[in-house]
Amino acid sequence: MSIRDIARQARTAARRLAAIDNATKNAALDAIRQALQKDSDAIIAANRQDLAQADRDNLAPPLRKRLAFDAEKIADVCAGIDALIRLPDPVGRTVCAMELDTGLELYRVTCPIGVIGVVFESRPDALVQISTLCLKSGNAALLKGGREAAQTNRALADAISRAGEKAGLPAGWLGLLETRADVAEMLRLEDEIDLIVPRGSNAFVRHIMNNTNIPVLGHADGICHVYIDAAADPDMAVRICVDSKCQYVAVCNAAETVLVHQDIAQTVLPRLHEALQARDVELRGCEHTVRIIDVRPADENDWRTEYLDQILAIRVVDSLGAAIEHINTYGSGHTDAIVTGDRQAAAAFLDGVDSADVFWNCSTRFSDGYRYGLGAEVGISTNKIHARGPVGLEGLLIYKYKLIGDGHVVADYSGPTAKPFTHKPLDKECRL
């Protein structure tokens, strides 16, 4: 089947999915969870093939770590599916309601986007998260994972699509793309696909945007920061930095740069150095930093790099304003955190940093759809239109206006005897 045929089948499926009730969607999600558990041995065996090929290809350690999909990962994605099932139906929810006149009521109601194409990295768990989020939100999905995970993605997509269709979903609601040529073809199908979500580097997202007429929800680099303010508790600062960097280094919400106020640098940098050395993290520091701790000198590129590895850049700054300026200059608008006991400084940071996620006294690793209670995510958007931050169910919805009348015509509201509109807000749900 050609990519155009797959997309057309997805378009047909999307129109049916939009009208499927929540009980059917939840039953399909439960069937998918059971299928993943039942087929776990086959899925793990497929992943071992991918890992063996990755070793032959000398795949970079951070990418190899993302690629692994074992029993623990299967349990994690199944827990995510259970969380999705517990969430209320996001489709058909009244966002606002207004009476235009007696008996003439306007409702803005959530609805699916339609067909969503997602190109993502070598993380098989992303395929499960994205497909099930699309299902719950009533969207059909076309998915292209990294070639490194080809065998695992085939096994997962087959289990998920078969289980969904047996539970009552329309055929073709989930399509798997496998090559770069498939992606190039998908980008030309603006009549069949409503949204593209690319997950990857800025260069990759830019390439997608420059080669399609389909709207693109961009997920750029994760150049995330932790700023240790002068009023920070040193123990808390070290703990948050270690978690932000080391809890899982190969992901977009891991910290890549730590900024330290000069008034606390002598106290906190030796502690941070010791804690991160114990985790085998290579540190690179500015001129001020290297005078306090023995680390490799940093250069301009270090402030702009998403390492996704055991590497962290450190810069000493002379003020909160300088920290904010650094982040807004070098960051990717993803996730940035401040550690401080000064509420006023925290408020200035959260207001001044131009990122999708801004945190006070907590790890950047909390920037995640599952941890936010969104039912996982299709990605983290650094866009400022439609959806920003972790894109969960709400980011996969748009809305339509439903106007309900009783013989009303516009002519009655025109001319010298025109009736006035009441434009009165209503506190009620659209029941149709």
pLDDT single digits (tens) 69-121: 999 999 999 999 999 999 999 999 999 999 999 999 999 999 999 999 999 87
pLDDT at residue 122, rounded to an integer: 80
Structural domains in the chain plus CATH codes: 3-199 (3.40.605.10), 224-366 (3.40.309.10)
pLDDT at 206 over 90: no
The continuous run of DSSP H or E covering 262 comes out as: helix 262-277
pLDDT at residue 394, rounded to an integer: 87
Q: Which of 10, 137, 50 is nearest to 392 (CA)?
A: 137
Task: For residue 68, give every residue at least 6 positions away whose Cβ sits within 8 Å of its Cβ, in sequence order, or none.
Answer: 47, 51
- Give the mean pLDDT of 250-276: 96
- Give the mean pLDDT of 171-197: 95
pLDDT at residue 387, rounded to an integer: 83
Helix count and strand count (H, E) for the chain = 15, 17
R_g over Cα of the chain = 24
pLDDT at 432 over 90: no
pLDDT at 338 over 80: yes
Neighbours of 70 (CB within 10 A): 14
User: Across all residues in the chain, what is the average pLDDT?
Assistant: 94
SS3 245: helix
pLDDT tens track for 285-336: 999 999 999 999 999 999 999 998 999 999 999 999 999 999 999 999 999 9
Q: Which of 185, 170, 267 is nearest to 228 (CA)?
A: 267
Sign of the torsion angle spanned by Cα atoms 174, 177, 183, 188: negative
As to burial, measured by CB atoms within 10 angstroms (0-12 exposed, 13-18 middle, 19+ buried), residue 46 is: buried
As to burial, measured by CB atoms within 10 angstroms (0-12 exposed, 13-18 middle, 19+ buried), residue 89 is: middle
Task: Give, in order, the Cα–Cα distances in Å from 152 to each of 39, 149, 210, 274.
Answer: 12, 5, 30, 39
pLDDT at 221 over 80: no
Neighbours of 402 (CB within 10 A): 16
pLDDT at residue 66, rounded to an integer: 86
Task: Give, in order, the Cα–Cα distances in Å from 414 to each of 98, 99, 120, 407, 421.
Answer: 20, 18, 53, 16, 11
Split at pLDDT 50, 70, 90, the class of 26 is very high
pLDDT at 152 over 90: yes
CA-CA distance, 214 to 376, in Å (whole number)?
24
- Given a contact cutoff of 8 angstroms between Cβ atoms, the answer to whether 130 and 120 are in contact is yes
Q: What percent of the chain has pLDDT over 70?
A: 99
Token pair listed for 138: 């009533």
pLDDT tens track for 362-419: 999 999 888 888 767 787 888 777 788 888 888 899 999 999 999 999 999 999 999 9
CA-CA distance, 84 to 210, in Å (whole number)?
34
**CA contacts within 13 A on the Cβ side of 241:** 34
Q: Which of 281, 282, 306 is nearest to 224 (CA)?
A: 306
Split at pLDDT 50, 70, 90, the class of 251 is confident
Q: Which of 314, 323, 384 is nearest to 352 (CA)?
A: 323
Pairing of β 115-119 and β 195-198: parallel
CA-CA distance, 323 to 315, in Å (whole number)?
9
- Give the mean pLDDT of 189-208: 86
Residues belonging to the chain: 432
CA-CA distance, 61 to 431, in Å (whole number)?
53
Neighbours of 403 (CB within 10 A): 11
pLDDT at residue 220, rounded to an integer: 61
CA-CA distance, 351 to 348, in Å (whole number)?
5
pLDDT at 219 over 70: no
